[in-house]
Amino acid sequence: MLLRSLTLCLLAILPCLAAEPRKAWRIMPIGDSITEGGSTFSVYRLPLWEKLTAAGYVFEYVGSKSSPSRVGPLLHEGYGGKNAEFLAGVVPGNFAKTPADIVLIQAGHNHSIEEKPIPGILSATESMITAFRKANPKVIILLAQPILSGKLPKYSYLPDLGKEIPTLAKRLNTADSPVIVVDQASGFDFQTDAIADKVHPNASGAEKMAQCWFDALTKVMGKPEPRPVPKVVPFKKTPQGDLSLHLFLPAAAPSDTKRTAIVFFFGGGWSVGTPLQFYPECAHFAAKGIVAISADYRIQSVHKTSPFESVADGKSAIRWVREHAAELGIDPNRIIAAGASAGGQVAAAAGTLPGLDEPTDDPSISSRPNAMILWYPVIDNGPDGYGDANVKARYQEISPLHNITASTPPTLMFLGTADKLIPVSTGRAFEQKMKAAGVRCDFQLFEGAGHPIYEYRKGPSQLRDDILSAADKFIASLKS
């Protein structure tokens, strides 16, 4: 069934224990390599970020260290190969510089059974908690019973350490600064959830750890703003993996009503990014009766691909929506492509480029949207524009600015005057070429705004509200 929901389990919200509302939570992940991550194994920080973001929480990771991910660098206090005593000597100083509201402590590895390490690990953990409270007397401590390991006999002490953690938590727990035990051990099977070393998590192990942290965090972070639950449906198979669309479907309408659709493409330089970027915007448009969709596409950090594959996926997404318009209640002649930065380039490419179609797509179905709304888009891939050497060498194939015709859809474009990647002059050149081709182009500048115009990770903002209001008016004008 086309719309069989792979509904994200990320949005289950549990009872609230937090006493006061916050604009944004600061979360510090603390531990060893299991927290830091590595090139050969998975780490919980990204799937936890995705779960919290999809659920509507406004938060940020903090720490002195940074590791790459599909959504860009994520901060933490993870130290590969280091034990709890090392963490107790280093992390409190970093915490004092950037205090967190919540810490996630997963420590206990990197000793051996011969060292009889449990008393030292517990003492180091207590020392960290005491130091954190000096910097933030209301810090919330989530303390893991650490995942178990099949690297034996070295780590045979871990089950006994896990049994001692609740006793420590109970002794240190206070009303102002609770210490909450998170059972990471029980559901983690090192035979199936770890890589061959039976220590470090694989993808399923990282997912299990993220879910444990998420379940605990939702009990202390309060309820986020209600957000619709998207349906996630596959739309394309590629050699690098399947791609999906995240569908935000409005409430039921009369059977003879054909809705407008808007398809978003996330930003990130064709290298990083996630469809979650445009969840708030999708929720906004769905509430207004528009079928709002956030599309996945191939990116370098995940799929080892180039911008050319990203563009092909964008065109495939528009084709898929148009092909399934009747099932989705969409007017196939009212499909809007939207996106930010490189995602704006993908959207604009669908509206301008004659080529870069996927060979397996049905060419009888148009990949050209009926309108475009572009957030600080990469529209010039020419010699003086944005892109690597390969992109610039082939700019005539991929650059929206160099492929404008009378068939280019009407466009609304947003750009900040302080954007260091997309000069205002580039926006003006696009506007002028559109108008010279006889095509509508509404170009709106935001004084002093950069790239991005607003931070999608940081929750509501006046700039976001202003842009959505302008987009609403533009969409309404298309019907007249």
Report the alpha-carbon distance of residue 316 to residue 353 in Å, rounded.
Answer: 13
Shared domain check, 368 and 260: yes
Element (H, E) at 237: strand 231-238
Asked if 267 and 382 sit in the same domain, the reply is yes
The DSSP call for residue 185 is S
238 and 210, same domain (yes or no): no
Residues 148 and 296 in one domain: no
Instruction: Tell whether 2 is covered by a domain.
Output: no
Six-digit token string for 213: 């942290």
Q: Quote the DSSP letter at residue 229.
A: P
Residue that terminates a domain, selected from 188, 220, 252: 220
The structure tokens listed for 372 are: 């475009």
Distance from CA of residue 427 to its chain's centroid? 27
Task: Among 194, 220, 246, give the residue marking a domain's end.
Answer: 220
Sequence-ordered alpha helix ranges (H) in 377-461: 389-393, 395-398, 424-436
Rounded CA-CA distance 151/201 in Å is: 13
Cβ atoms of residues 318 and 336 within 8 Å: no
Claim to verify: residue 181 and residue 324 sit in the same structural domain: no
- Give the C-alpha separation, 316 to 365, whole Å: 10
Q: Which two tokens stand for residue 161?
A: 């350490």
Find the CATH number of the domain harbouring 339.
Answer: 3.40.50.1820
Shared-domain flag, residues 126 and 246: no
Total number of residues shown for the chain: 480
Beta pairing class for 74-78 and 65-67? antiparallel
Between 45-54 and 203-220, two packed helices, what is the crossing angle to 10 degrees? 50
Give the residue ranges of DSSP H helices in 173-230: 203-220
Q: Determine the pLDDT at residue 253.
A: 67
Distance of CA 123 to CAs 119, 145, 464, Å?
6, 15, 47
Q: Is residue 3 part of a domain?
A: no
Same domain for 240 and 345?
A: yes
Among residues 220, 249, 279, the one where a domain terminates is 220
The CATH code of the domain that includes 214 is: 3.40.50.1110
Q: Could you give the CA distance from residue 304 to residue 187 in angstroms, rounded to a whole number?
A: 33
For 14: left if phi > 0, alpha if psi spans -120 to 50, otherwise beta; the answer is beta
Residues 158 and 136 in one domain: yes
In degrees and rounded to multiples of 5, residue 434 shows phi and psi of: -60, -50
Q: Do 148 and 174 contact (CB within 8 A), yes or no? A: no
Q: Are residues 347 and 384 in the same domain?
A: yes
Tell me the whole-structure pTM to 2 decimals. Answer: 0.90
Please give the angle made by the CA atoms of 159, 211 and 186, to the nearest 5 degrees.
20
Whether residues 463 and 329 share a domain: the answer is yes
8 A C-beta contact, residue 414 and residue 464: no
What does R_g of the chain's alpha carbons equal in angstroms?
25
d(CA 145, CA 256): 56
Residue 23 in domain: yes
**329 and 243 in one domain?**
yes
pLDDT in tens, the chain (480 residues): 333 332 223 222 222 333 344 468 999 999 999 999 999 999 999 999 999 999 999 999 999 999 999 999 999 999 999 999 999 999 999 999 999 999 999 999 999 999 999 999 999 999 999 999 999 999 999 999 999 999 999 999 999 999 999 999 999 999 999 999 999 999 999 999 999 999 999 999 999 999 999 999 999 999 887 888 899 999 999 999 999 999 999 987 666 679 999 999 999 999 999 999 999 999 999 999 999 999 999 999 999 999 999 999 999 999 999 999 999 999 999 999 999 999 999 999 999 999 999 999 999 999 999 999 999 999 999 999 999 999 999 999 999 999 999 999 999 999 999 999 999 999 999 999 999 999 999 999 999 999 999 998 888 889 999 999 999 999 999 986
Domain containing 130: what range? 9-220
Taking phi over 0 as left and psi of -120 to 50 as alpha, with beta for the rest, 65 belongs to beta
**Count of domains in the chain?**
2
Structure tokens that stand for 443 in this block? 């170009």
Dihedral angle computed from the Cα positions of residues 187, 192, 194 and 199, in that order, rounded to the nearest 10 degrees: 80
Instruction: Measure the CA–CA gap between 427 and 388, rounded to whole angstroms.
Output: 20
Chain segment 323-375, per-residue pLDDT in tens: 999 999 999 999 999 999 999 999 999 999 999 999 999 999 999 999 999 99
Closest C-alpha among 139, 157, 141 to residue 149: 157
Token representation of residue 8? 């994200």
How far is it, in rounded angstroms, from Cα 146 to Cα 168?
14
- Measure the CA–CA gap between 303 and 324, rounded to whole angstroms: 26
Residues 212, 289 within the same domain = no
How many Å apart are CA 321 and CA 367, to the nearest integer? 9
56-81 pLDDT per residue, tens: 999 999 999 999 999 999 999 999 99
Residue 4 lies in a domain: no
Which residues lie below 8 Å from residue 383, measured CB to CB, with a gap of 6+? 392, 395
Query: How far, in Å, CA of 323 to CA of 310, rounded?
Result: 20
Intra-chain end-to-end CA distance of the chain, in Å: 35
Please report, for residues 266, 276, 299, 419, 467, the alpha-carbon distance to residue 270 in angstroms, rounded to integers and kept in the order given: 9, 15, 5, 18, 23
Helix 158-172 and helix 118-135, axial crossing angle in degrees, nearest 10: 30
Sign of CA dihedral 272, 279, 67, 157: negative
Query: Would residue 226 count as lying in a domain?
Result: no
